[in-house]
């Protein structure tokens, strides 16, 4: 039998998502994932396992990759969230990482891809020159049920190489 | 998910006051990496969550040679993994953190939350017990210190009273000629640990005598298990292979594992024997070289 519980009021959530500020009322039991997908309509972030296992719901909060299914929206009060929709520049130009995912065909069904791109984006912000082992280790929180793991590791390593070359080139020019 | 109220505390004092009002009906929310899943699975049904995640005074790492390490309960797993201080003074912690859950979880989850959740498979806890960690626990009634090895009562159950909050974890400075070794067994690198073992060995300088031994295991009992008999058995004795084999048998005898889809209880007991031997030997060698 369901015990009668007190009615719960919505609470104020101030949050910046993809550069846009929001002040909205949300229920305490709203996850960040549901807030993004259902309240803001940002359905690029995927819902899958809902128990902190698969990483399909990965978004970036204050430069850190986190699993949005496992965080309440109110926990992110005052913070900055980036989803897959927020990566491209306003004119629609994709990031080098997104381009590489396309070039290397790092998608099979594609469902895990937004989470993977977000994890890899945060990782490459944190580590400039990761080895392939670093990449494999850091990406272990993102599962692919199609088992298409090799392609996206290749795509990430390609970006690492390209960024390094670009940096060296710039250093030369200076 | 069930309905619950949510209150954000901004100071430790405020959090203590709130939880003393709510008592059993409230739950302290740190990173929530276990709590939110438990709410979704309806394993717990609190009336209110008291969110302490934003309390800055609970997020710090401090070390000095005399008192050792003091870390705020809200220290992130990722901080323990990456901190140069931890890497230098307590390398076992940064090493084992590399395989705690996933990067996403380590970015957001806290060591205090991990301890209070009291999941017997939690990895950092056995190593912290081996290192001699103590907990500072606060409430409106005052504060007390509890050795981590005495903190756990049963699956997901601790000695925390309904109005208490874990505020700090203290780890004594590493003893001279000592080392802690962590070893795990899992079928895939990032997978769930079937058994993990953390062993502290301190040796008498220039001899093979074990001055101190602490063997602590995860996933083999309802709580993170300090194998007191096996540890005591090795203490003060000269390290030999046959002694080690005997100690591993004693340690296995102290466990009370359950069977689940990852491994049977019998298999876990066998793994304990192997891992205790390997980890203790490695810790002994490292302590001797230290």
CB contacts, 8 Å: B41 with chain A: 51
Structure confidence at residue B206 as a pLDDT band (50, 70, 90): confident
Shortest Cα–Cα distance, B95 to chain A (Å): 13
pLDDT at B290: 84
Shortest Cα–Cα distance, A84 to chain B (Å): 16
Whether chain B has a CB inside 8 Å of the CB on A11: the answer is yes
Summarised one tens digit per residue, pLDDT across range B111-158 is: 999 999 999 999 899 999 999 999 999 999 999 999 999 999 999 999
| Average pLDDT, integer, range B43-53 | 96
CB contacts, 8 Å: A65 with chain B: 103-104, 107
ipTM of the complex: 0.94
- Do B140 and B44 have their domain in common? no
Structure confidence at residue A107 as a pLDDT band (50, 70, 90): confident
What's the total number of domains in chain B? Answer: 3
pLDDT at A4: 60
Ranges of each domain in chain A = 11-169
Summarised one tens digit per residue, pLDDT across range A109-123 is: 999 999 999 999 999
A interface mutation test: which of B104, B113, B121, B190 has the most A CBs within 10 A?
A: B104
pLDDT reading at B106 higher than 60? yes
- Do B74 and B165 have their domain in common? yes
pLDDT at B61: 98
The dotted CATH code for A11-169 is 3.10.20.30
Structure tokens at A77: 């009060």
Final residue of a domain: which of B154, B171, B188?
A: B171
| Average pLDDT, integer, range B37-46 | 94
Cβ neighbours of residue B152 closer than 8 Å, sequence gap 6 or more: B118, B120, B158, B159, B223, B224
pLDDT at B192: 84
Whether chain A has a CB inside 8 Å of the CB on B53: the answer is yes
- Do B46 and B68 have their domain in common? no
pLDDT reading at A5 higher than 70? no
Chain A CA closest to residue B101: A141
Structure confidence at residue A1 as a pLDDT band (50, 70, 90): very low
pLDDT reading at B256 higher than 60? yes
Could B36 and A11 be called an inter-chain contact, meaning their C-beta atoms sit closer than 8 Å? no
pLDDT reading at B43 higher than 70? yes
CB contacts, 8 Å: B45 with chain A: 3
- Burial track A50-80 (b if 16+ CB lie within 10 A, e otherwise): bebbbbbbbbbbeebbbbbbbbbbbbbbeeb
In CATH, what number is assigned to the domain containing residue B198? Answer: 3.30.390.50
Could B2 and A29 be called an inter-chain contact, meaning their C-beta atoms sit closer than 8 Å? yes
- Do B214 and B233 have their domain in common? yes
- Do B267 and B167 have their domain in common? no
Could B37 and A51 be called an inter-chain contact, meaning their C-beta atoms sit closer than 8 Å? yes
Question: CA B184, CA A23: separation in Å to the nearest integer?
Answer: 46
Chain A CA closest to residue B25: A5
| Average pLDDT, integer, range B284-289 | 95
In CATH, what number is assigned to the domain containing residue B122? Answer: 3.30.465.10
Count A/B contacts: CB-CB distance under 8 Å.
Answer: 89
Could B104 and A75 be called an inter-chain contact, meaning their C-beta atoms sit closer than 8 Å? no
Q: Higher pLDDT residue, A7 or B181? A: B181
Summarised one tens digit per residue, pLDDT across range B170-182 is: 999 999 999 999 9
pLDDT reading at A7 higher than 60? yes
- Do B37 and B81 have their domain in common? no
pTM for the complete prediction? 0.95
Range of B27's domain? Answer: 5-51
pLDDT reading at A136 higher than 90? yes
A 123-152 residues with CB < 8 A to B: 123, 137-142
pLDDT at B187: 86
% of chain A with per-residue pLDDT over 90: 88
Whether chain A has a CB inside 8 Å of the CB on B10: the answer is no
What's the mean pLDDT when you consider all of chain A?
94
| Average pLDDT, integer, range A155-169 | 96
């Amino acid at each position: 039998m369901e015990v009668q519980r007190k009615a719960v009021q919505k609470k104020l959530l101030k949050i910046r998502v993809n550069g846009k500020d929001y002040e909205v009322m949300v229920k305490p039991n709203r996850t960040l994932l549901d807030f993004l997908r259902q309240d803001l309509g940002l359905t690029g972030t995927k819902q899958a396992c809902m128990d902190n296992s698969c990483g399909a719901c990965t978004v970036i909060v204050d430069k850190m990759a986190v699993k949005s299914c496992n965080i309440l929206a109110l926990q992110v009060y005052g913070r900055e969230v980036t989803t897959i929709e927020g990566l491209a520049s306003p004119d629609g130009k994709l990031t080098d990482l997104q381009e590489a995912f396309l070039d290397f065909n790092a998608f099979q069904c594609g469902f895990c891809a937004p989470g993977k791109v977000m994890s890899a984006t945060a990782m490459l912000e944190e580590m400039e020159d990761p080895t392939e082992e670093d990449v494999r280790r850091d990406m272990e929180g993102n599962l692919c049920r199609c088992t298409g793991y090799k392609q996206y590791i290749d795509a990430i390593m390609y970006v690492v190489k390209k960024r390094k070359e670009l940096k060296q080139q710039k250093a030369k020019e200076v | 998910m069930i309905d619950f109220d949510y209150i954000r505390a901004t100071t430790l004092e405020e959090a203590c006051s709130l939880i003393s009002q709510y008592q059993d009906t409230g739950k302290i929310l740190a990173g929530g990496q276990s709590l939110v899943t438990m709410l979704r699975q309806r394993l717990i049904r609190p009336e209110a969550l008291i969110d302490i995640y934003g309390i800055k005074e609970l997020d710090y790492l401090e070390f000095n040679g005399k008192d050792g390490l003091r870390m705020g309960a809200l220290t992130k797993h990722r901080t323990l993994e990456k901190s140069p201080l931890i890497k230098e003074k307590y390398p076992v912690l940064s090493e084992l953190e590399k395989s705690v859950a996933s990067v996403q979880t380590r970015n957001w989850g806290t060591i205090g939350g991990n301890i209070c959740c009291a999941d017997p498979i939690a990895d950092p806890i056995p190593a912290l017990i081996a290192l001699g960690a103590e907990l500072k626990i606060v409430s409106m009634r005052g504060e007390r210190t509890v050795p981590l090895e005495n903190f756990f009562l049963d699956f997901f159950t601790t000695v925390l009273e309904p109005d208490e909050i874990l505020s700090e974890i203290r780890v004594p400075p590493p003893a001279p000629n000592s080392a802690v070794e962590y070893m795990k067994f899992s079928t895939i690198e990032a997978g769930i640990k079937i058994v993990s073992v953390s062993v502290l060995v301190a040796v008498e300088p220039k001899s093979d005598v074990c001055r101190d031994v602490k063997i602590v295991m995860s996933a083999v009992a309802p709580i993170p298990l300090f194998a007191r008999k096996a540890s005591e058995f090795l203490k003060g004795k000269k390290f030999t292979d046959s002694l080690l084999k005997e100690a591993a048998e004693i340690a296995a005898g102290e466990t009370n594992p359950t069977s689940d889809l990852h491994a049977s209880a019998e298999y876990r007991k066998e793994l304990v024997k192997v891992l205790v031997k390997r980890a203790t030997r490695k810790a002994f060698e490292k302590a001797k070289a230290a």
